[in-house]
Amino acid sequence: MTRVLIALTSHSQLGDTGRTTGFYASEAAEPWSVFTAAGFDVDLVSVAGGRPPIDGLDEDDPIQQKFLASVDLEQTPAAAGLDASAYDAIFFAGGHGTVWDFPNDEALASLAAGIYENGGVVAAVCHGPSALVNLTLSDGRHLVDGKNVAAFTNAEEAAVGLTEVVPFLLADALTARGAIHHPAANFTPQAVTDGRLVTGQNPQSATSTAEAVVAVLTT
């Protein structure tokens, strides 16, 4: 049985704006739906364990409601308690919270590197690729070095008015690690596959990014 891990942020504060953030509901729910429809087992992991904060929840969205009814968000494990050899892929869901806690979670990075070096897939959507900024392999190279990627763009960050709020601009940070960033028009679907690295640009790319993961795992 193919097993996929969906990783979620535990960070709930949107900088000093006084607003809350977290993982973006559709960016976990839609991939979960794609993976379960493909017959995969899907587990969750979060940076701090326990219940991760949710952002952008649509109470009327049937996929999001089915996701929330089917998973145990109260008891998500932290990465340190998981074994990379148990998983065929890890999918980093986005949400602005990720840019604060994904890059510096060494246990999560180690878990993802282990999955990748065992022949598995590393995937991320929207701000989820912030997990890739400091992700290095056993040879010391950044996973994204020389790889084609998609991620939330500088133009999209400006469009939502958070350029001065986030601790770094994701597209710039990935480029600084050697990634080749491919921006599409604002808020249009964009998923990029480079070997066993699959990335998507924005919430509109969550389903297509997950479908690309399925394609890699089943071919």
Catalytic residues: 126-127, 157
Pairing of strands 148-149, 121-125: unpaired
Task: Please report, as a single letter, which amino acid is at residue 75.
Answer: Q
Q: How far is CA 54 from CA 64, 123, 146, 150, 218, in A?
A: 11, 20, 33, 23, 31
Task: Please report, as a single letter, which amino acid is at residue 50.
Answer: G
d(CA 172, CA 86): 33
